[in-house]
Amino acid sequence: MPSPRLLEVGAELVEVGIELDAVFEIAGRLRGDVDAIARQFVRLTVEHAGLDARAGDRDIREAGEVIRRLRPIGMQAVQGLLARSLHAEIQAEFARQIESMGLASPADGVERDAGTAPDVPV
């Protein structure tokens, strides 16, 4: 069962004009990407925090505390990285759209790569 937050996101996407089938396709693709990110984060944390099978001398309470903190730490990391990436991608796409409408050209300095796109309110 999807979460209320995901249902709200889906409804907002439909509201801006994305067809429901496309919303489900987007959700499925993102789900696979997010699952891979979660696996990688947990795997790296387990390796570097000494929680793997080789850590037999690790205090169980200490290991439990690391495990308890994994979700909020992972959420913060992903939210920060996603916010940065979304900002860059939105800015770059906005610049491409401006250029395609003939309102600017790369020589005007509007077209830039995703890391250096101009700041435009989003």
Tokens of 17: 């004009």
Would you say 63 and 51 are in contact if contact means Cβ atoms under 8 Å apart? yes
Task: Assess contact for 95 and 111: CB atoms under 8 A.
Answer: yes
What does the pLDDT look like over 19-53, one tens digit per residue?
A: 999 999 999 999 999 999 999 999 998 888 877 76
Q: Measuring CA to CA, which residue among 77, 34, 96, 61 is closest to residue 26?
A: 34
Residue 66: pLDDT band (50, 70, 90) is: confident
* Domain that residue 67 falls in: 4-82
Residue 54 has pLDDT above 80, yes or no: no
In a domain, 92, yes or no: no
What average pLDDT does the segment 90-94 reach? 94
The number of folded domains in the chain is 1
Residue 36: inside a domain, yes or no? yes
Q: Is residue 112 part of a domain?
A: no
Q: Is residue 40 part of a domain?
A: yes
Q: Residue 27 domain-assigned?
A: yes
Q: Is residue 52 part of a domain?
A: yes
What is the share, in percent, of the chain residues with pLDDT greater than 90?
A: 53
Q: Please, which pLDDT band fits residue 122 given cuts at 50, 70 and 90? A: very low
- CA 74 to CA 44: how far, in whole Å? 11
- Of 49, 74, 76, nearest in space to 63 by CA: 49
Alpha-helix runs per DSSP H in 16-59: 20-48
Q: Is residue 34 part of a domain?
A: yes
